[in-house]
Amino acid sequence: MGEEVKLIGARGSPFNCRVEIALKLKGVEYEFIEEDLANKSPLLLKYNPVHKKIPVLLHNGKPIAESLVILEYVDQTWEGASILPQHPYERAMARFWAKFIDDKCMSALWNACWSKGKEQEKAIEEANELLKLLENELKDKKFFGGDNIGLVDIVADFIAYWVGAIQEVTGAEVLTKEKFPKLFEWAREFINCSIVKEKLPPRDHLTGFFRIKLEAPDTLKYNPQVR
Amino acid sequence: MEEVKLIGSWPSPYGYRIIWALNLKGVKYEYVDEDLSNKSQMLLQYNPIHKKIPVLVHGQKPIAESTVILEYIEETWPHNSLLPKDPYERALARFWIKFIEEKSPTFMAFYVAVGEEQEKAIKEAREQLKILEEQGLGDKKFFCGNEIGLTDIACGWMATIDVIEEIVGVQVLDSDSFPCLHAWINNFKQVPGIKEDFPDRDQILAYYKHKRDMFIASTSS
């Protein structure tokens, strides 16, 4: 049976990365189409007319948008390692934490990394509260998913990798070994997983991109062109 | 049979989502109404992260966040399916649930706005509702076809938008511009399980009118 899987994305995006990790986990072959977000293609506008954002998964010509929706779709459609746990209660907990990361952590961490002065102090305080909750949730597990990566680990890719790159550029100290030893260790384990490592954008690409952003402060508001 | 408890706070639309889902599944539950100005120890114990309602407690285990609870209900009581079986259709159902979640503040901003800001809020709400009307619902009876599902439940608050419109004195979801959503509202309110547990119009009119009056008073002094 011929199966066509394409991913319209942008390699610097953590939302895009989530989907690439998931597809790799399931051993799905796909064609990657890099989108220039400053100049959106007719393809993207056709397949995600509602939000006009990446990533968009195309499975046999049918588009699915929103990274969390795509992750659930990938888990349900293909055999292989599970992204979500089996038991309904465990699944609910995974979805709860994934939502927590998406709704609260992404923008708070972004702001904590990029803001300055008094605003940054307040932003870091807020980020600390959220990271503490994640640190507690991790407990003594290697990953949020247990022995293997799962939904929450994948959704937290921004925390594991992007935050470190931004910190390198701005000098912000949001996620450090001293403040959050478990989370720090989790991040290290996560980015060193062979499946994840292969799909992360090169560190110097990210820092290069963020250095440019540092020079253009009006682009710093949290307004992801990606989902 | 494990005990099911729902902690809500009338007339929260998020609480109603869970009431409706449990009704559609025929699940018996104990309802506990929470005074949000004086949160109980029970709520703080069961939802320490957000301290919000609704919270479903099933056999002592709490689940928070209405869309997470809805998925849990669907998976725990799989009869009377509320999500399509087909993975693609299921993804679409979830896409629109997410859209409704994200756009809720936009849909309802006109309720808390006045003057020029209100005009802007109405315009933006109508733009997003147009997307829901044309791309989400189209001419289907319910969001996923002929049967009610989680997407409809997530959108259920819209069935009382006429009350808000009356209070504010504007029309946002008119039947000429939104014939499909209007038809959907009528169908939604008739579904057994929704019909019996639908908020009383006079009661919510009084509640939301009072809230808006308080809000206007606090912003104009």
* ipTM of this predicted structure: 0.96
> What type of residue sits at position B82?
L
Task: Write the CB contacts of B148 (distance below 8 Å, at least 6 apart in sequence).
Answer: B24, B82, B142, B188, B191, B194
Q: Which residues of chain A have pLDDT under 50?
A: 1
pLDDT tens-digit profile, chain B (221 residues): 799 999 999 999 999 999 999 999 999 999 999 999 999 999 999 999 999 999 999 999 999 999 999 999 999 999 999 999 999 999 999 999 999 999 999 998 999 898 899 999 999 999 999 999 999 999 999 999 999 999 999 999 999 999 999 999 999 999 999 999 999 999 999 999 999 999 999 999 999 999 999 988 887 75
pLDDT of amino acid B182: 97
Rounded Cα–Cα distance for residues A227 and A130 (Å): 20
Per-residue pLDDT, B215: 87
Distance, CA of A210 to CA of A60 (rounded, Å):
35
Q: Is A59 helix (H, G, I), strand (E, B) or coil?
A: strand
Q: What is the pLDDT of residue A216?
A: 81
Q: Tell me how far apart the alpha carbons of residues A4 and A30 are, in angstroms, rounded to a whole number.
A: 7
Q: Which long-range contacts (CB under 8 A, 24 or more apart) does A146-150 make?
A: A148/A81, A149/A21, A149/A25, A149/A190, A149/A193, A149/A195, A149/A196, A150/A82, A150/A83, A150/A84, A150/A85, A150/A94
pLDDT of residue A180: 97
* pLDDT score of A215: 86
How high is the pLDDT of residue A220? 67
**Continuous H helices in B77-200:** 87-108, 115-131, 150-154, 161-168, 179-190
- To the nearest whole Å, the CA of A168 is away from the closest chain B CA by 30
Q: Is A91 on the interface with B (CB under 8 A)?
A: yes
- The confidence score (pLDDT) of residue B1 equals 73
**Which residues of chain A from 50 to 69 reach within 8 Å of chain B, CB to CB?**
50, 59, 62, 64-66, 68-69
Are A96 and B90 an interchain contact pair (Cβ–Cβ within 8 Å)? no
Q: Given this model, what pLDDT does residue A221 score?
A: 65
pTM of this prediction?
A: 0.96
Going through chain B in order, the beta strands assigned E by DSSP cover 4-8, 30-33, 55-58, 61-64
Residues present in chain A in total: 227
Substitution target in A95, A130, A132 with the highest count of B β-carbons within 10 Å is: A95
SS3 A13: coil
Q: How many CB atoms lie within 10 A of CB B84?
A: 18
Query: Which 3 state secondary structure label does DSSP give B141?
Result: coil
Residues of A in contact with B135 (CB under 8 A): 49-50
Task: Tell me what pLDDT residue B218 has.
Answer: 86
Inspect the interface and report whether the beta carbons of B91 and A68 lie closer than 8 Å.
Answer: no
What distance in Å separates residue B162's CA from the closest CA in chain A?
26
The residues, any chain, with a CB within 8 Å of residue A113's CB and separated by 6 or more, are: A163, A166, A167, A170, A172, A174
CA distance A12 to chain B (A): 23
- Contacting residues of B for A47, CB less than 8 Å apart: none
Q: Which residues of B touch A72 (CB under 8 A)?
A: 90-91, 94
Q: Is the four-CA dihedral A187, A189, A191, A193 of positive or negative sign?
A: negative
Q: Residues of B at the A interface (Cβ-Cβ below 8 Å)?
A: 49, 58, 61, 63-65, 67-69, 71-72, 75-76, 87-88, 90-92, 94-95, 98-99, 131, 135
DSSP A160: I
- Position B216 scores a pLDDT of 85
Q: What pLDDT does A223 receive?
A: 62
